[in-house]
Amino acid sequence: MEKKKKLDSKEGQRLLQQMILIRRFEEKSAEEYTKSKIRGFLHLYTGEEAVAVGVIQALTEEDNILCTYREHGHALARGVDPNAIMAEMYGKQEGCSKGRGGSMHLFDASKNFFGGNAIVSGHLPLSVGMALAAKKQKKNNVTCCFFGEGAAAEGEFHESMNLAALWQVPVLFVCENNLYAMGTAIKLTHSMQQLEKKGAAYGIEAAAVDGMDLLEVMEAVEKALKTIKEKGQPYFLVCNTYRFRAHSMFDAELYREKSEVEEWKKKDPIPKFQEFLLKEKLITAKKITEIEKAVDAQIQESIEFAENGTWEDAENLTRFVYSETESI
Partner 1 sequence: MSDMIKITYREAIKQSIRDVMQKDERVFLMGEDVGNYGGAFAVSKGLLKEFGAERIMDVPLSESGFTGAGIGAALAGMKPIVEVMTVNFSLLAMDQIFNNAATLLHMSGGQLNVPVVIRMGCGIGRQLAAQHSHSWEPFFAHVPGLIVLSVGTHEDARGMLISAMESPDPVIIFEYTFMLNMEKEIPADSGAVEIKKAKVLREGKDISLITYGAGVYKCLEAAEALGQEGIDAEVIDLRVLRPMDEETFLNSVKKTNRALIVEEAWRSVSISSEVISRIMEKAFFDLDGPVERLCGVEVPIPYPKHLEDASVPQVSDILDKVKKMLKP
Binding site for a second copy (CB under 8 A): 153-159, 161-162, 165-166, 188-192, 197-198, 200-204
Query: Could you tell me the sign of the dihedral formed by the alpha carbons of 24, 26, 30, 36, in that order?
Result: positive
User: Phi first, then psi: what are they for 143, rounded to 5°?
Assistant: -110, 125
Query: Which residue minimizes CB distance to Mg ion?
Result: 148
Q: Do 38 and 311 form a contact (C-beta atoms < 8 A)?
A: no
CB of 283 to Mg ion, least distance (A): 31
What is the bridge-based pairing of β-strands 113-116 and 171-177?
Answer: unpaired
Q: How far is the CB of 159 from Mg ion (least distance, A)?
A: 17
Structural contact between residues 209 and 182, judged by C-beta atoms closer than 8 angstroms: no
CB of 44 to a second copy, least distance (A): 28
Question: Which of a second copy, partner 1, ligand TPP, none lies near 321, with the C-beta cut-off 5 to 8 A by kind?
Answer: partner 1
Q: Compute the least distance from the CB of residue 206 to a second copy, in Å.
A: 11
Q: 10 Å Cβ neighbour count for 270?
A: 19
Of 54 and 170, nearer to a second copy (C-beta) is 170
Angle between helices 285-308 and 269-279 (to 10 degrees): 140
174 binds, among partner 1, ligand TPP, Mg ion, none (CB under 5 to 8 A by kind): none
Quick one: 109 exposed, middle or buried, by C-beta within 10 A (0-12, 13-18, 19+)?
exposed
Q: Which residues from 129-158 bind partner 1, rule CB under 8 A?
A: 129-134, 136-137, 150-151, 153-156
Q: Find the DSSP H helices in 195-326.
A: 214-231, 258-265, 269-279, 285-308
Examine residue 61 and tell whether it contacts partner 1 (CB under 8 A): no
H or E element, residue 184: strand 184-185
Q: Which is nearer to a second copy, 43 or 198 (CB)?
A: 198
Taking the complex as a whole, the smallest distance from the CB of residue 215 to partner 1 amounts, in Å, to 31
The smaller minimum CB distance to a second copy, of residues 30 and 207, is found at 207
What minimum distance in Å lies between the beta carbon of 151 and a second copy? 12
Q: Which residues bind ligand TPP (CB under 6 A)?
A: 68, 70, 118-120, 147-151, 176, 178, 180-182, 247
